[in-house]
Structure 1
Amino acid sequence: MDQNLEIRGKVCVTGASGYLASWLIKRLLLSGYHVIGTVRNPENEKLAFLWQLEGAKERLKLMKADLMEEGSFDDAIVGCEGVFHTASPVVGPNSDPKVEILDPAIKGTLNVLRSCKKSPCLERVVLTSSSAAIRARDDFDSQIPLDESSWSSIELCESLKIWYALSKTLAEKAAWVFANENKIDLVTILPTFIIGPSLPVDLCSTACDVLGLLKGDSEKFSWHGRMGYVHIDDVALIHILVYEDRSANGRYLCCSTVLENYELASLLSKRYPSLPIPKRFMPLLKDRAYYNYNTSKVESLGFNFRSIEEMFDDCVASLKEQGRL
């Protein structure tokens, strides 16, 4: 262990085995925090990668918790000064979207916050929301970049069956109501599409889409259309930044670059000529509104985003190291 490392307080990270959560835990451990990670089954062999993180053997503890069980986060959160709630369903629904996506996102968030309310030493909660809670609307001015004041339209999400965006929007709105009513210091992070190295053994749906794109599967990425991109390490660092900076408040949009999928494909095919990057995509929606993001709020805290090239360089290197490319 680094003898000069400043040992910090105890924090909880929900959904510890996830793509972003595992990277956040890596960064928290490197920063000297004691981390309680919640998972469905602490004995799962696929969690071995977490114990290989620097500082894990000394300052990581995994505890069982379930989003749909009220009170199941109590033991993990009690005694923690901070909570990072990242756990949320991402995969597309196979049958009932309410059961598979909406309930776990909304009820799970409220279950975590109820446990936070019971912890006397809690200082701040950082909730991972999504830019999907901002951009799914049809009444914005394409000349004005979207920022933290924007909210996705619940009616539009329901009519188009955009269940992920709906779950993130409703869960974040519910979190703000609960936090305000119960005087919980809440900050929310709204990342765009996250790119970068994957620590878990199994790739999440996000990482699978990127792998599909790099292997020439245009269908895998066609639905993305215009999209913002951000490095996974930047998102993890911003979580810690807004937790530690007591001037931070409200929502924080995290995005480095916004591109159409054909612009991304062009950039990637030139950068990685040996990979079969698709040259064309079928448009998802005709006359899709142009949009951009205003990230000045998080930049005002002194944060600078990594480039689209750097995030994909790190992603490609990781996939090659894992033998996937």
Structure 2
Amino acid sequence: MTKTACVTGGNGYIASALIKMLLEKGYAVKTTVRNPDDMEKNSHFKGLQELGPLSVFRADLDEEGSFDDAIAGCDYAFLVAAPVNLMAEDPEVHNKPVTTNLRCHIPSHIRDGTDRSSHRPGGTACPRCSWRRRRPGSRAEHGISLVTVCPVITAGAAPATRVRTSVIDSLSLLSGDEKGLAVLKGIERTSGAVQLVHVDDLCRAELFVAEEAAAAGRYLCSGLNTTVVELARFLSRKYPQYNVKTDFTDDDQLLEKPRVVLSSAKLAREGFEFRYTTLDEIYDDVVEYGKALGILPY
């Protein structure tokens, strides 16, 4: 039987890629957006609907119960939309927002309104589930389990026609975007490396832990650890037309090699394999995507 998945925030970058993957794998998909009539943000849904059954619902994280129709009858729910503070006043201390992806296994017999969303305005909670009431991986109520996939800077092409944060950041050395570059530098200074993952690997990881019955808790999802200096040298060689800055001698806080490696060993132990593990592979299609979005000049 066809399984059904709900993906919140379907006009977002990661969500749109996840929807595409689910449809290609034979899932029926329900997605939510705040305004289904906003075709500037939702134009990619038409192409996705050609891949398989995709229904679009209106829902808002600030409105309790607004996700009920989208969640009803679903086997899995992926919480990809979350309220985040995207900008800091000082770009040097700008913290990259983390997208939280939750999987909720909802048995098909739960279709009534008794298990309503416990979302509180301004917080991050999964429809019909709550981190406040239940530990990650708990199956104590209605057989629902929660799993978190924590992504790093995510690159790669996706169906979404508008993006913020990670794609802009990953292309900042090519585009000259100082705020995006400040994000990369800030991540390196605070974590000891710049961590990257291809959006395809991220979506595969999300689906992997959703379908894996034994999956529980939090999973880091990072395909590669690098540095600003390494990344700049790679991009300068691969895309010489962009005149990428490679001399960072004026910034003695930047590293030649990663000082700390963010490990995805937990995913690997359970059988997940990354397909994109080099800078060349991770940046294979994001430059063309950046051109299409107007982030990079043709």
d(CA) in 2 for partners of 1:69, 1:119: 25
Does 1:24 pair with 2:18? yes
Match of 1:317 in 2: 288
Q: Report which stretch shifted further, 9-18 or 175-184.
A: 175-184
Larger relative helix fraction: 1
- Classify the secondary structure of the residue corresponding to 2:266: helix
Match of 1:40 in 2: 34
Aligned residues: 259
Deviation at 1:199, TM superposition (A): 2.4
Match of 2:45 in 1: 50
Q: Is the 8 A contact 1:63 1:76 kept in 2?
A: yes
- Classify the secondary structure of the residue corresponding to 1:53: helix
d(CA) in 2 for partners of 1:261, 1:70: 42
- Kindly tell me: are residues 265 and 186 of structure 1, through their superposed partners in 2, closer, same or farther at Cα, counting changes over 3 Å? same
Deviation at 1:85, TM superposition (A): 0.6
Q: Which amino acid aligns with 1:37?
A: T
Deviation at 1:212, TM superposition (A): 2.9
Q: Residues 164-203 of structure 1 correspond to what in structure 2 (within 5 A)?
A: 174=132, 176-177=134-135, 180=138, 182=141, 184-203=144-163
d(CA) in 1 for partners of 2:134, 2:253: 32
Unaligned runs of 5+ in 2: 90-94, 113-122
Match of 1:120 in 2: 110
Deviation at 1:73, TM superposition (A): 0.8
Deviation at 1:296, TM superposition (A): 2.1
Does 1:249 pair with 2:216? yes
Structure 2 residue corresponding to 1:231, chosen from 195, 198, 206: 198
d(CA) in 2 for partners of 1:283, 1:72: 48
- Classify the secondary structure of the residue corresponding to 2:285: helix
Q: What is the aligned-residue identity percentage? A: 31
- Classify the secondary structure of the residue corresponding to 1:235: helix
d(CA) in 1 for partners of 2:279, 2:254: 26
Structure 2 residue corresponding to 1:14, chosen from 5, 8, 23: 8
- Classify the secondary structure of the residue corresponding to 1:120: coil
- Classify the secondary structure of the residue corresponding to 2:161: coil
- RMSD between superposed Cα atoms in Å: 3.6
d(CA) in 1 for partners of 2:60, 2:254: 40
Q: Is the 8 A contact 1:9 1:34 kept in 2?
A: yes
Match of 1:204 in 2: 164
- Classify the secondary structure of the residue corresponding to 2:242: coil
Please report the TM-score for the alignment, with normalisation by the length of structure 1.
0.68
Q: Report which stretch shifted further, 85-94 or 196-205.
A: 85-94
d(CA) in 2 for partners of 1:286, 1:264: 12
Q: Which amino acid aligns with 2:274?
A: N
